[in-house]
Amino acid sequence: MTRNWAGTYEYTAPMIVTARTEDEVRRALAGGGPVHALGTRHSFTDLPDTGGTLIDVSGLEGGFELGDGTVRVAGGTRYGVLASWLDERGLALHNLGSLPHISVAGATATGTHGSGDAHGVLTTAVRGIRYLDAHGALHEVRRGDPDFAAVAVGLGAFGVVVSLDLATEPTYRVRQDVYRDVTWDAALHALPAVTGAGYSVSVFTRWDPESIGYVWVKTRLDDDRQPVPETLLDGVRDVDAEPLGGLADVTELRGVPGPWMLRLPHFRLDGTPSFGDEIQSEYFVSREHAVTALLAMRELGELIRPVLFVSELRTAAADDLWLSPAYGRDILAIHFTWRNDPDAVGRVIPEIERALEPYAARPHWGKRHGFGRERLERVHPRLADAREVFERLDPDGRFVNRHLIRVGARRPR
C-alpha cells in the first residue's frame, strides 16, 4: 500500500517500480502498458496515479552540473538538497516553495510556487527539460523551443522528466519576521502593502472576523544589520510568535539573518513538514480581483474554520507557461490546509469554488479540487493547445490516466 506523504491519498496502480537512473526508467518503460512518474508524493489527488505501472523516480537524484548561469539537476532531487549544494558554491535560486522536501520535477510539472509579488512560480526558473518518451528515447526541450510553454508545467502527461536546467544567481541572505494583529480592514484597504512588504510574504489566516492572522515577511538583505519596520499597517512585529500552532519544524521566525535556503521555505528539510495528516486545496485569482475574492472567502469563514488547520495567502508574477497558475496574469494564491476529514472537505470545496467562480480562479493541479475539463478550459485558455502537444508527444497514450482525462489535459482512450 502506497500513499502520498500526508497519508490521505492511496495510489491504486497495480505495480510500482523504483528507478534511480535513466536506464532504470528506460527498463520500466519497456514493460509496455500505461505508466506514470511518481515523485516525492506531494500530490493530494490521483494526478500521478495510473492503471498500469508507477515509476518511482524520487531516487533519481543529484547529477548536479553547473552551466552558464544554470544548474542541471536530476528530476527526483528535493529542492532542499539542491539548494544546499548551490549555496555551498555561492549560488542560489530565485525562490523556493514552503516545503524543501518536494522534488524539482514534480514541483515544476504542477506549477508549484513560493511567494513574492515580483517572482514567478518555481517553473519560471526552468531553462531546459530532458525527458524519456514512452519508448525510452531521450528528448530535450529548452526555453524558446515551440513545445516549451506546454511541457514546462506538463503534469507528467507526455513522458518521464529525468533532469532539468534551472537558472541560478549569486547566493543571498534573508531574514524572516512575523507580524500580528493586522486587521482585515487595514489589509484589504492596502493589500499591496502587505504582499509587497518583503522579498517573499505569506499570510497565514483562519478567516477570523477581525485579524488576518500572521504575516511572515522574508526580507532579502544587502547587509545583515539592515533594519526592518516594527509595524505593518496596524499590526506589530512579534519576536515570540508561534503561528501554525507552534509546529516544531518551521524555519527561523525571529528576524535572524541566514542563508536564503534556510529562510525562504517555511519548514526545515530535516524536519516534518506542515501538519502531516492533512488534505490541501489551492486556488489562484488575478491580483486585480484579490480583494473581492478575499471578501468572498471571509463570508464563508464559519463554514471553513471547523475543518481547517490554516489558510495561506501568497503572490506570484505573471508568466507565459500555458498551464501555469500565473499564465498571463499576476496572481494571489489562496491555499487551504484541511483536516483529514474527506467528507467535510468535500462539502466545503464546492462552496469555495462557487464563490471564486466570478474571478476565474484556477486550482492547483496537484491539490484537491472539483474542476473538470469544461471549467478548466474557461480559466486556462491554452489547455486545449497543451493537450494537443501532449497527444503529439505521446500518441499511444501511455501517460494517459483518469485524472488527465478528467481535467482535459489528455483525450480519452
pLDDT, tens only, 355-386: 999 999 999 999 999 999 999 999 999 999 99
Residue 243 above 80 pLDDT? no
Mean pLDDT, residues 267-279: 86
Mean pLDDT of the chain: 96
Residue 292 above 90 pLDDT? yes
Instruction: Evaluate whether 65-171 and 173-363 have a shared fold.
Output: no
Which pLDDT value is given to residue 242?
A: 79
Buried b (16+ CB within 10 A) or exposed e, 230-251: eebbebebbeebebbeebeebb
CB atoms within 10 A of CB 288: 12
Question: Domain residues of the chain, as ranges?
Answer: 65-171, 173-363
Which pLDDT value is given to residue 1?
A: 58
Residue 233 above 90 pLDDT? yes
Question: What single-letter amino acid sits at 323?
Answer: L
Q: Give me the helix-helix angle, 290-299 and 342-356, nearest 10°.
A: 140
pLDDT in tens, 140-157: 999 999 999 999 999 999
Mean pLDDT, residues 104-117: 97
Residue 273 above 90 pLDDT? no
Strands 214-221 and 200-205: antiparallel
CA 32 to chain centre: 31
Which pLDDT value is given to residue 336?
A: 98
Take residue 99 and report the three cell numbers written for it.
516545503
Fold classification of 173-363 is Alpha-Beta Plaits (3.30.70)
Residue 290 above 70 pLDDT? yes
Fold classification of 65-171 is 3.30.465
Nearest CA-CA partner of 263 in 271, 273, 272, 253: 253
Mean pLDDT, residues 252-279: 91
Which pLDDT value is given to residue 271?
A: 82
Tell me how far apart the terminal alpha carbons of the chain are, to the nearest angstrom.
Answer: 27
Which pLDDT value is given to residue 42?
A: 86
Residue 333 above 90 pLDDT? yes
Mean pLDDT, residues 401-408: 98
**Residue 281, SS3 per DSSP:** strand
